[in-house]
Amino acid sequence: MGLRQGCPLFLYLFIICSDVLSRSLRAACTVRELEAYVPALGAQPISHLLFADDCLLLTRARIADAQAIRQVLATYCHPSGQRVNAQKSTISFSPSTPPGIRRGVRRILEMPEQDGTWTYLGVSITGRRLRVSECTGMVQRVQSRLEGWRAVSLSMMGRVTLIRSVLGSMPIYLMANKVVPRSVLLKIERLLRGFLWGSLGGGRGVHLVAWESVCLPLREGGLGVLSLLEKRELLLTRHASRFILEPQGFWSRIMIARYGRAGLKGWARGGWSCSFLWREIARYVPMVSDHTRWLIGDGRSIDVTGDPWVDVLPLRLWPTTVSVDAKEGLHVCDLMSPEEADWDEIRLARFFGEHLAERVRSLSLPRSGGPDVQVWSSSTSPRVRMC
C-alpha cells in the first residue's frame, strides 16, 4: 500500500532513502568511478550535498564521471520509486571546461547547462561577489509589501512593529548566506524610513528623528529597530565565530585547508588572493578572538604569553613579572609534567612569580588530554542585540 504523505514513518523513510543515495555516491568515489571536488590541498573531498529533496553533485567534468552519475542515479531511482526532475536540474561547468566535454556531459545526463549564477534554495550560488542587479528581487519584495499597506492608516507604533517583525527580517535569509552589497541595504533602509514617517509613495511625512536614533535599543531611547548594516556585520561575525570556536566543523575544516591556519592560531591569511566572501569574514576574526579564551587540553596550541588562558587577557598584558625565559614559542604543554596530568612545579617557579604561579596551579588539567579549545570569555563575551 505504501505510505501516505503525513504518515509519521514518512520522514524516517525519506532519511533512509537519502542515506542510500549518499552511500552510493561515496562508494563510487571510493572505487574511483567518480572524482569528487577537492576545495584545497589536504581538504576533505566533497562529492555531494543533500538538503530535503535537492542534491548538489560536485565532480570533475569528465565523460566517465557523467556516466557514473547516471548509473548511480538509475540504480537508486529504480527501487526507491523516485525520479530525477530534468526540468529543474541544471549543470554548471568551470570556465576552463572544453566545449566537447560540455556537450558530452549534457548529452549523457540530459540536463541543460546553466551559465554564470544559479539559484539554490533562493540563494544565488556564485564564486564572485553578489551584484546589485542580483538583489533587485529582494528590494522589489520589500517595496511591494509596503505598497500593500496603507501607512497613513497605521499608528506610529504599528508601523514600527511591522518594520521590526516583518520588513526587517525579509532580507535576513539572503544576508545569512551572502554578502549583500551595502548600497542595496541602504536602499531598503530608505524605503523603511519612508514607511515609518509616512513619506513613501509621494507622501509628505517629515523625518523627525535621525535613523541612527531610531535604531537604538528601547532602553537607550530608540525604537528598537536593528539597522540592516548592523545585521550584516552581525551575520559576518557569526561566520567568524564558527571558524574560531568550531574548528572541527565541516565548513571550518575546509576554510582552514584552503586559507591556512596553524592549528588554532594565526587565524587566517588575508590578501587579494582570497575570495571576496572570505576577506569580509576575516575582517571580524580578530574581534571574535579578542572575546575568547582558551581551555587547556594538551596545551600544544596555547602560547604562554600571547594567548588568554589564565584569564581573559594574555600574560604579556598583565601588570606582573614574567621571566624573560618565557619568550615567544613557549607553549602551555612545556609547563606540564610529562609523567602525569599536573603542572611542572620547577618550571612554574622558574618562569612566574609566586602569585602568578598560584593562579596557574588553580587551573585544572584534563586527564585524557585532547586538543585545546577556544570558548567565549564569560566576562567579555559580546552582547548581541536582535530586535
Residues 6+ apart with CB under 8 A from 357: 348, 349
**115 has a pLDDT exceeding 50:** yes
**286 has a pLDDT exceeding 60:** yes
The identity of residue 172, as a single letter, is I
How many CB atoms are closer than 10 A to CB 288? 21
**Rounded mean pLDDT, 316-322:** 70
The per-residue pLDDT of the chain, averaged, comes to: 80
pLDDT of residue 5: 65
Least confident window among 11-25, 137-151, 197-211 = 197-211
**41 has a pLDDT exceeding 90:** no
How does residue 180 score in pLDDT terms, banded at 50, 70 and 90? confident
pLDDT of residue 133: 83
**354 has a pLDDT exceeding 90:** no
C-alpha cell at 117: 549564477
pLDDT of residue 104: 93
* Cα–Cα distance measured from residue 387 to residue 224, given in angstroms and rounded to the nearest whole number: 6
* Cα–Cα distance measured from residue 215 to residue 213, given in angstroms and rounded to the nearest whole number: 5
Which position has the higher pLDDT, 146 or 108? Answer: 108
Task: Out of 2-16, 237-251, 256-270, give the one with best mean pLDDT.
Answer: 237-251
Q: Residue 192 in contact with residue 184, Cβ under 8 Å?
A: no
Of all residues in the chain, what percent carry a pLDDT higher than 70? 85
**Rounded mean pLDDT, 83-91:** 85
pLDDT of residue 143: 85
Least confident window among 221-225, 351-355, 360-364 = 351-355
pLDDT of residue 326: 59
Residue whose entry in the numeric block shows the C-alpha cell 581573559: 312
C-alpha cell at 248: 572541527
- The pLDDT tens digits of the residues spanning 224-236 come to 888 888 889 888 8
pLDDT of residue 386: 38
Three-state SS annotation for the chain? CCCCCCCHHHHHHHHHHHHHHHHHHHHHHHCCCCCEECCCCCCCCECEEEECCEEEECECCCHHHHHHHHHHHHHHHHHHCCCCCHHHCCECCCCCCCHHHHHHHHHHHCCCECCCCEEECCEEECCCCCCHHHHHHHHHHHHHHHHCCCHHHCCHHHHHHHHHHCHHHCCHHHHCCCCCCHHHHHHHHHHHHHHHHCCCCCCCCCCCCCHHHHCCCHHHCCCCCCCHHHHHHHHHHHHHHHHHHCCCCHHHHHHHHHHCCECCECCCCCCCCCCHHHHHHHCCHHHHHCCEEEECCCCCCCECCCCCCCCCCCHHHCCCCECCCCCCCCEHHHHECCCCCCECHHHHHHHECHHHHHHHHCCCCCCCCCCCEEEECCCCCCCCCCC
**264 has a pLDDT exceeding 60:** no
Task: Out of 7-21, 148-162, 168-182, 221-235, give the one with best mean pLDDT.
Answer: 221-235
* Cα–Cα distance measured from residue 193 to residue 187, given in angstroms and rounded to the nearest whole number: 10
Residue whose entry in the numeric block shows the C-alpha cell 550535498: 49
The residues facing 55 across adjacent strands are 50
Least confident window among 125-129, 214-218, 321-325 = 321-325
**1 has a pLDDT exceeding 50:** no
Which position has the higher pLDDT, 136 or 319? Answer: 136
Task: Out of 60-74, 259-273, 341-355, give the one with best mean pLDDT.
Answer: 60-74
pLDDT of residue 380: 45
Handedness of CA 36, 41, 42, 44 (dihedral sign): negative
* Cα–Cα distance measured from residue 15 to residue 51, given in angstroms and rounded to the nearest whole number: 10
The identity of residue 328, as a single letter, is E
